[in-house]
Structure 1
Amino acid sequence: MEISIYQFIEGAKKAQGLTVIIDVFRAFSVACYVVENGAKDIIPVGDLQTAYRLKSKHPEYILMGERGGRIQEGFDYGNSPTQVQHLDFKGKTVVHTTSAGTQGIVNAVNAEERITGSFVNIQAIIDYIRKQNPQKVSLVCMGWEGHEHADEDTLCAEYIKNALEGKTNDFSEIVHFLREESKTGRFLDLKGESTAPASDFDLCLSLDRFNFVLKVETEPASNGLLHLRKIPV
């Protein structure tokens, strides 16, 4: 198994094989909470215009996401697990667009298979990759806004790579570093607004909270739209 780590949107374009698009803070942590709370479908899109168009055509759809960390006009929710962790999404379709995570999904056009990546379901990701046993694995760290290094995404990629290679990981050290030494620990507090509460830090680092992966699929009947499907592991 050949494992490569890539960075940002440009890295997503280079990804091949089974590709994990990683966005710990906060897109693909949020997505897991939403699916766990009953959402039947998440449609990841790259641009706001597509999100608004889908909402106009399907008023029952829920708009979720951000630009620059902030909820957008007309959206139902931002990109915060704190905001959605106790909400009932049973039977709902969620349209999700973010500055980094969903950009990676739509740009990973050379990947044979795409799943999302975060710490909240990282063991499920590792087990899924082992089960699939692909020749190539691409771990794409989306970073801040899809173009600036984010420690948590790189550490998530290294955690997956270590596990697949039989090496140990120290998650407590990862949490300490992100909280005390990385700018990640200051990100949420610096926002100073309800769309990025400090409690998101712990929710996004709730290790192995979920035992499923979110796989990107295209349905022929959906005019090329992508969908995140829950795959229990």
Structure 2
Amino acid sequence: MLKDPNIDVYVSAPLYESRHAGQPYFTYIPVDSVTLHGRMYAGDNDERTFSAGTLRHGRHRGVKETCAVMMRDIGWYMVKNCGAWFADMSYGRPRKWDAMRYPWFSREETTTPMRQMFDIFTEGLKKKHASGSEIAVFVSASTPRYEDIYRAPPLYYNLISKMLFRDMNMIGAPYDIYLMSDLANPKIKKDYKLYIFLNPFLKHSALDHLLDRYVRREL
């Protein structure tokens, strides 16, 4: 799909279980592979702000948390050279006011940090963007189709839910994440100091050859 000339933007929401202050921002899409192919990732930021009329999916516990989370998310988009929109999913039935009709993003307490971060974002667009990460993570999208549907989930819970979604964001160092199919892409930067191959269980001679060339620094 990344090579499809008809698709310019790829969209997904961030993790629903990581919506509070102190938690990392993470999306289900390998955004650095998207950028590598000249496409853009856009985050579907449906943050449940302090004024959201729902208690589900990580509603913020106050104005300070809403401001902190919004600044965290927009900062991530700026670092990753991505875009986003803020999806206000408040709604209400005609002629009846209820809690679900409270706007999520149009109150002053939310528009102020959005405006501040937008100004910083706009200023950042004037500068040339380049990743400063020294860690590259490669994930295989094709491997799971060959694995046992019942026995693989415990493994992927540890590799994906715990390691990739949580632990990698707690190491204190930035990292880039790519699809394994981009391993031989000549546009990938050459100065990574650590390569992590998350699930390269589907081995073949071409992959072995590529890995050998990486070890020998021939790529």
Q: Do both share a fold (TM > 0.5)?
A: no
Asked which structure has the greater CA Rg, the reply is 2
TM-score normalised by L of structure 2: 0.22
Structure (1/2) with the larger strand percentage: 1
Question: With CA pairs under 8 Å and 6+ residues apart, which has the higher RCO, 1 or 2?
Answer: 1
